[in-house]
Chains A and B, each alone.
Chain A
Amino acid sequence: DIQLTQSPSLLSASVGDRVTITCRASQGISNYLAWYQQKPGKAPELLIYAASTLHSGVPSRFSGSRSGTEFTLTISSLQPEDFATYYCQQLNGYPPWTFGQGTKVDIK
């Protein structure tokens, strides 16, 4: 199975900070990667798919990029509602699919 390694596992930041989360795939997955946000006690919500396509209704401060097998989620200016855990997921071809281990963004 394809493995995804997210870093960091924990990120402490302040409102207004620019935040970057990285997800590295164990083999090439083209741009078949999505990012989700999950708040405590809630279901995950789709932020980005196809590595860089913003899902409908997601604020433009979120963006995604790809360089080879390394993917990045960037929040340009962290807002109070953005404190959450973020997961990447690879959806390359047929399943099985995998998620990263998650990055928790908390208040510095």
Chain B
Amino acid sequence: QVTLEESGPALVKPTQTLTLTCTFSGFSLNTPGMRLSWVRQPPGKALEWIARIDWDDDKFYSTSLKTRLTISKDSSRNQVVLTMTNMDPVDTATYYCARTRLEDYQQFLDVWGKGTTVTVSS
């Protein structure tokens, strides 16, 4: 059974750095073709894809956020860490991690964590 769970602070202050951890089980990020994405959703708004890390350590970021994001993995611990610097109230959102598969040249986010809600406020 594949599961993912996000963890991190529920409240951060403006200008602080946010660190989120995705802990997963049931698959390995060492498997060729396996990837993991982060997606966020501000309250009442649409989903926004923000970052992805691949089995071979390739990394990809949202165009609008790339200067503030860093994604990394610890495959031995089955964890992916996302850091976002210089947090602002507009970054208030639920942050999801999702397994991202590559199958016959198609990519898709097939299993999601429940999400973790982050509020940015002083």
Interface on A for B, CB 8 Å cutoff? 1, 31-32, 34, 36, 38, 42-46, 49-50, 53, 55, 87, 89, 91, 94-102
Contact of A34 with B109 at beta-carbon distance under 8 Å, contacts A96-B60, A96-B61 already known: yes
Interface on B for A, CB 8 Å cutoff? 37, 39, 46-49, 52, 60-63, 96, 104, 106-110, 112-115
Q: Which residue of B lies closest to A31 (CB)?
A: B106
**CB contact between B47 and one of A32, A49, A96, A99 (< 8 Å): that residue:** A99
Interface majority SS on B: helix, strand, loop or mixed? Answer: strand
Q: Which residues of B contact A38 (CB under 8 A)?
A: 47
Q: Which residues of A contact B46 (CB under 8 A)?
A: 87, 99-102
Taking a contact as CB atoms under 8 Å apart, the answer to whether B109 and A89 are in contact is yes
